[in-house]
Homo-oligomer: A and B are copies of this chain.
Amino acid sequence: MAGIEDVARLAGVSASTASRALNGHPRISAETVRRVAEAAQTLGYVASSSAYTLATGRNRNIGVVLPYVERWYFGTVLAGIDSRLMQAGYDLSLYNFNGSSEQRASVFTDFLLRRRVDALITVAVKLEAGELDVLHRLGKPVLAVGGPVPGASTLRIDDFGAAKLATLHLLSLGHSRIALIGGDAASEMDFRQPETRHGGYLEAMADHGIDVPDSWFFPADFTVGGGYAAAKTALSDPRLSFTALFAASDEMAIGAVLAARDLGMRVPEDVSIVGIDGHDLSEFFGLTTVAQAPRDQGARAADLILEALSGGEAAEATDTVWPIELVVRSTTTRNHGA
C-alpha cells in the first residue's frame, strides 16, 4: 500500500509538504496542492488511521453505545447517525450491550479506554454513576440520545409529555379504565424511558381525578412478545374491564393489538390501544401513536456531536428537545360502554 512518502516522491516534494497539501493547510502553492492530489489519486493513497491518530490525537471515529441493535428504535437511530457520520468522513464504532451486563461493563472498563473514539453517542441508556465517571475522565464529548444524562449534552423527546399526551387522548375519548403496559424490571435497568413514561401516564390520570391502582400496571420488556403477553393478562382478567390500553412503546402496542384479536376482541370497538414511537409498522396496524422520528434524531445527534468536536472544547452541555406528534389512526375510538 502506498504511504505518504510514495506520494511525496511522485509529486516531487517532501513528506511534510505532501501532508500539508493533503490536509488543506493554508500556505501551500496551488500548483503543489494539485500535483500532490494527483499523485495521491494515482497511487490510491489513503492515510493510515492509526498513524494519523497517533500523530494528531484525533480518530475521526465516533462510538455509539446502545443496548439492542436489532430492535427497530435503536437500529433506526443508528442508521440516522451513521449516514451523517459517513458523509462527514467519520468512522463509527458500535458498542452494543446485547442485553448483557457483562458486555455492558466491559464497554466502560475496557473498550472505551482504548481511545479509539473522539466522542460518544449513547442511545437511551441509563448511565450509572461509575459509567458517568469513566466518560468524564475520558474528557470526550458525550451526547445522550433519549437522555437526560447528568453533565452530558442530550437530544431527547419529552417522554413524560408523550406518555401524558397518549393517555390524555384516551381520556378525551371518554375512557377511564386505562391499563398501562410499561417497562419491567429489566428494562428499567437499561433505559430511561420506562419510568418517565409511566409518570406521564399517572399524571394524566391524576389530572382527571382517576386513582390508579397498582393492578392496572402490566410490566413487559418493550418487545411485541412482551406486549402481547401483558395485554393478554390485562384483557382476560374479568374483574378489571379495561376499555383502553396505553403501551409505552409501539412494539408493545402492536403485541397488544394482536393479543386483543386473539381474545376475540375488536380493536377499537371493544378496546382502544395507543402506543409511543411511530414505528414503521404502526401504519399497517392503524395504530394510534405519539410519533418521534428516530432516524432524523440520529442524524441530528451526529450533527451535534460533530459540532461539539469542531467547536471550542469547553462547550456547554446542551439539552435539545425533539418535537413529537400525536398521530390518530384506527386503534382508538370513543368509549361507548361508559
Interface CB pairs A-B, < 8 A, 6 = A44-B113, A54-B54, A78-B94, A78-B96, A86-B111, A89-B110
Q: Are A82 and B54 in contact (CB under 8 A)?
A: no
Among A70, A71, A98, A255: residue with most chain B CB under 10 A: A70
Choice from B49, B89, B103, B224 contacting A280 with Cβ under 8 Å: B224
Distance in angstroms from A52 CB to nearest chain B CB is 8
Q: Are A79 and B59 in contact (CB under 8 A)?
A: no
Q: Are B48 and A115 in contact (CB under 8 A)?
A: yes
Which B residues are in CB contact (< 8 Å) with A91?
93, 111, 114, 116
Residues of A participating in the B interface, judged by any CB pair closer than 8 Å: 1, 44, 46-51, 53-54, 59, 61, 68-72, 75-76, 78-79, 82-83, 86-87, 89, 91-96, 98, 100, 103, 106-107, 110-111, 113-116, 223-225, 228, 255, 258, 280-281, 283-285, 295
Among A46, A68, A223: residue with most chain B CB under 10 A: A46
Q: Are A96 and B79 in contact (CB under 8 A)?
A: yes
Cα-based distance from A68 to B75 in the complex (angstroms): 9
Distance in angstroms from A137 CB to nearest chain B CB is 8
Q: Are B75 and A71 in contact (CB under 8 A)?
A: yes
Q: Are B98 and A86 in contact (CB under 8 A)?
A: yes
Q: Are B82 and A98 in contact (CB under 8 A)?
A: yes
Which B residues are in CB contact (< 8 Å) with A95?
86
> How many monomers of this protein are in the complex?
2
Distance in angstroms from A287 CB to nearest chain B CB is 12
A228 closest partner in B (C-beta): B284
Which B residues are in CB contact (< 8 Å) with A47?
114
Please judge, given known A-B contacts A51-B54, A70-B72, A224-B284, whether A46 and B93 are in contact too, CB under 8 Å: no
Choice from B82, B89, B228 contacting A69 with Cβ under 8 Å: B82
Please judge, given known A-B contacts A86-B106, A91-B111, A92-B93, whether A255 and B284 are in contact too, CB under 8 Å: yes
Q: Are A49 and B114 in contact (CB under 8 A)?
A: yes
Please judge, given known A-B contacts A49-B116, A114-B47, A115-B50, whether A100 and B75 are in contact too, CB under 8 Å: no
Which B residues are in CB contact (< 8 Å) with A280?
223-225
Please judge, given known A-B contacts A86-B98, A89-B110, whether A115 and B49 are in contact too, CB under 8 Å: yes
Cα-based distance from A223 to B107 in the complex (angstroms): 33
Which B residues are in CB contact (< 8 Å) with A70?
72, 75-76, 78-79, 295
